[in-house]
Structure 1
Amino acid sequence: MHLMSALLISLLLVSGCKSTTTRTGPIAVGPGVTQSQSPSPEAKRYTYNSDIYLDVAIPVFNPGFPIDDDTGHVDYQELDELDIWPQLRRAEAKRFAVETKQALAKTKAFGSVSVVPNANTSADLYVLGTILHSDSEFIRLEVTVVDSSGEPIDTEDFEHQVSESFFRDAMNQDKDPYEPVFVEVADYVYELLTDMSEQQKQQLKNTTLVRYAHYYAPDAFAGYLSQQLESKRGTQFYKYELNAMPAENDPMLQRIEVLRNQDMLFVDRLQDHFAVFQHTTNGPYRKWQRETLPEAVRAREARSERNTKAVIGALGFIAALALGNNSTSTSTAVAKTAGALGSAWLLKDAYQANENLRVASAVIDEMGQGLDLTLSPQVMEFNEQEVELTGTAAEQYEQWKAHLRKMYQLESSAN
């Protein structure tokens, strides 16, 4: 009887094991069969049914440094506490702007999409990004979209967590682990665009043109714009309202259009510089992501472990103290001693976890050195006059705009 029971149990176990294997489709083998190990999802398709294409400016992202309220400068003590390496974060501010541009360009729903040093440029829409967090495992961004009237359309936060095994897959060797978050940003801006009516989009393009003309000739174009300080969701901004449009054959407007083309030429050149920066920093930045991802995970776990053990250890001491105060029995004394010893070990472990966190942070900091954007002097020409631009991208852009404004004023006085 025992032998029969054993056989029945064995058969049931074997049949149970077999039932765990299932097939969900036909078996395909032999020549002509293509099997993909990890099929990639289809690229998202965007359908933009409009003849009006808005130009987008993406200023270099705000690196998200903590600011001292008293001085208005970077709070380096808090910067250190947040484990932010300044040079790395500044490099990310440029890289993330470029990656946002690339994601937006893939929608094919906009006119020009340009990365610029700051928001002091001409565009129909501005995508303003702030880095809230970035440590190779987590990236969190705040994105605000502002139109050319100066009004913020909307603000949204975006977050993405990189899988610890991302770089184990050889197929991901040249892929950006942060890419999904920039696709989300592009989808977000695209949806805001498609919510606009044709009239709204044309109004924005007209406002962009008149604001640009007003920058060079404020007296001549003052009547076409009105400006007032407004507030939206606690944010103050200057709202520009278009009162009227100058005639298309207005000679002053036509001269402004020539200047605007020169302005756009400089911005186009800047795209080459940002592209070179992106390409140059791809290698070291990918290395930083790949080598610090395990450290970031370990740091997060160490931080959690440190906090948990520190709290439990402190509570153990409090409990042991409470036992000592409430009783003098031998058993209570033993419990008090055991609780105190256990708490001491937990606090020691918490200290060790904190040391692991410090070591992991040091590795991340070390890898963050040496990433920055350099811009060599360049010579621009307009109306047979050359001007050499030096300094950072933002400084060169301001020099070029000042030169264009000077040329416009000289032409105006000559006429």
Structure 2
Amino acid sequence: MQVDGSSVRKWLTVSVLITVIFGVGCASQSSTQQSSTPAVQAAQEIPAEQLLDVGITVFDPGLPPKGQPVPDDVFPELRKAESRFQAIQLMETMQSTGQWGAIRVLPAGHGTTDLRVSSTILHSTGFKLALDIRAVDARGKVWLEERYQAQADELAYMSTEAEQRDPFQSIYNEISNDLLEARKKLRAGELQEIRQVSRLRFAADLAPEPFSDYLTTDKKGRIKVKRLPARGDPMIARVDNIRASENLFIDTLDQNYAAFFARMEAPYSSWRKYTYEEEKAYKALKRKALTQKILGGLAILGAALADPGSSAAAVVRDAAMIGGIAAIHAGISTSKEAKIHAEAIRELAASVETELQPIVIEVHGQTLRLSGSAETQYQEWRQLMQEIWATETGLPVDPNRPGAPIVGAETGNGSSNDSPEQN
């Protein structure tokens, strides 16, 4: 049987058109709704001796080193603000569970606590959030070292003000639940050891001379209790008083963070909703541009495969080629429109407030006023605490240590100075 060449060309053209159009149509049907597992709540009150205090370091904004180019979708001013905002969001999530002791947001690189949680922001828009999370206890044992990422819950952007929730609450819930699972694996004796090590590390940093011999490090790099202070030891009692004052200072600092959170929440929510809609529009426009380019190319292909012996086909072929080329140009134009949408996002970053208010606090009968960044305030605070310690005990203050970061505190990249190993 002889097969007509024009029939084959027509059949091939129709088949290609149907296949590609069906593929493009299927590709455009995507969903961004995210299911959220709630943060696990405590079924009953947990005994105080089993509760661990948590310090959440202000997140690393994930900006490139100075002098290197910043990606087009990263706004440095906003990222720095997000580094506090997101730390507070995790703090509030964990506080709501009743599974932990005091939870505080700490300046980067400072503070001694039972469990320290640090994070680096990898990607943050209204559409997608990605975080690297690391949690290390006072002994240097790594509890958690994971990457968390999710697309925004679209329904959060549709909520009324009374029902407002974070579009990425699922990530904070997941982190909280994973930390809880890690804690459940520890025996009661280990929880007690973590609290003891945390207390003695604070003491050794404040006063190395009398307390440096209370701790030791094993072969894995873990910090262990070598011996405990005697019951009623006046030196450790002074340390406990200063630590209580420091916790009060950090609580006051966190109140400033909360005020920052309140100032930032409305404009930040608006920014995220806007960027979510912009990114959705951008993706839709890119799909539209791709579809137009494909259909334009197929129109040209179909015209080229038309029966060359027909004068009517020649007219159709010419018209199809013109239409196909126009469709390709329309697709390119649409891509440019999408880029304009992306550029519009930049204009919102500069308005976010990031400065903290000065702290006025009374300690040991003195009224102190600390100003500047959180890091500067904490440096001043540590120096004052060491001076108070020297005055009360008569022990000299090491001139190389005033205001220095706490021993074992993590730096901007989230690493621990004691190089802990993970089980």
TM over 0.5: yes
Local SS of the residue matching 1:266: helix
Q: TM-score, with normalisation over the residues of structure 1?
A: 0.73
* 1:57-206 equivalent positions in 2, closer than 5 A: 57-65=55-63, 67=64, 72-73=65-66, 75=68, 77-80=69-72, 83-164=73-154, 166-170=156-160, 174-206=164-196
CA distance in 1, matches of 2:216, 2:159: 56
Identity among equivalent positions (%) equals 25
Q: What is the aligned partner in structure 2 of residue 292 from structure 1?
A: 275
Give per-residue Cα distances to partners, 1:63-110, cap 9 Å, x unaligned.
122x3xxxx4363x2433xx1111111111111111101110111111
The residue identity in structure 1 corresponding to 2:234 is: P
Cα shift readout 1:270-315 (whole Å, capped 9, x = no counterpart): 12111111111111112112222210212344567778999x89x9
Counterpart contact for 1:246–1:253, Cα < 8 Å: yes
Q: How does 1:300-319 map to 2 (within 5 A)?
A: 300-302=283-285
Specify the SS of the correspondent of 1:368. helix
Aligned counterpart in structure 2 of residue 376 of structure 1, from 357, 361, 364: 357
Measured against aligned partners, the alpha-carbon deviations of 1:28-68 in whole angstroms (never above 9, x if no partner) come to xxxxxxxxxxxx99985433655411000011111122x3x
- 1:136 is displaced (CA, Å) by 0.4
In structure 2, C-alpha distance between the alignment counterparts of 1:198 and 1:147, rounded to whole Å: 15
Partner of 2:391: 410
2:380 equivalent among 391, 399, 408: 399
Q: Which AA in structure 1 matches 2:273?
A: R
SS of the residue aligned with 1:167? Answer: helix
Q: Is the 8 A contact 2:134 2:143 kept in 1?
A: yes
In structure 2, what residue type is equivalent to 1:116?
Answer: L
Alignment check: 8 A CA contact 1:56 1:127 kept: yes
2:262 to 263, 266, 279: 279
- The answer for the alignment partner of 2:246 in structure 1 is 263
Structure 1 gap segments, 5+ residues each: 1-39, 231-237, 321-328
Q: CA deviation at 1:222?
A: 1.6
* Cα distance in 1 between the residues matched to 2:230 and 2:291: 69
Q: CA deviation at 1:189?
A: 1.4
Give the SS at the match of 2:150.
strand
Matched residue SS, 1:226: strand
Is the Cα–Cα contact under 8 Å of residues 213 and 253 in structure 1 kept in the other structure?
A: yes
SS in 2 for 1:369: helix
Does 2:27 match 1:46? no
Distance 1:252 1:307 in 2: 72
Of 354, 376, 390, which aligns to 2:371?
390
Indicate if the aligned counterparts of 2:143 and 2:179 stay in contact, CA closer than 8 A.
Answer: no
Paired residue secondary structure (2:351): coil
Q: What do the CA deviations read for 1:243-270 (whole angstroms, capped 9, x no partner)?
A: 2222232221111111111111101101
The residue type equivalent to 2:140 in the other structure is: G
Q: Which piece of structure 1 moves more, 154-163 or 103-112?
A: 154-163
Question: What SS does structure 2 have at the residue aligned with 1:244?
Answer: coil
Work out the number of aligned pairs and report it: 347
**Offset from partner CA, 1:323-349 (integer Å, 9 cap, x none):** xxxxxx99xxx9xx9999999768745
Q: Which amino acid letter does the alignment assign opposite residue 384 of structure 1?
A: G
For 1:343 and 1:390, locate their aligned partners in 2 and report how far apart those are by CA, in whole Å: 65
Per-residue CA distance 1:5-38 (angstroms, 9 max, x = gap): xxxxxxxxxxxxxxxxxxxxxxxxxxxxxxxxxx
Q: Are residues 228 and 401 of structure 1, via their aligned partners in 2, closer, same or farther at CA, if it must alter by over 3 Å?
A: farther
Mapped to 1, the partners of 2:155 and 2:98 lie a distance apart of 33
Structural RMSD (CA): 3.6
Question: Following TM superposition, by how much is the alpha carbon of 1:229 offset from its aligned partner in structure 2, in angstroms?
Answer: 9.3
In structure 2, C-alpha distance between the alignment counterparts of 1:163 and 1:42, rounded to whole Å: 14
Higher relative contact order (CA 8 A, sep 6+): 2
Q: Distance in 2 between matches of 1:388 and 1:202?
A: 36
Q: TM-score, normalised by structure 2?
A: 0.71
**In 2 relative to 1, CA 199–358 (structure 1 residues): closer, same or farther, beyond 3 Å?**
same
Does 2:200 match 1:210?
yes
Given that 1:91 and 1:371 are in contact with CA atoms closer than 8 Å, whether structure 2 keeps it comes out as yes
What is the CA distance between 1:211 and its match in structure 2?
0.3
**SS, match of residue 133 in structure 1:** strand
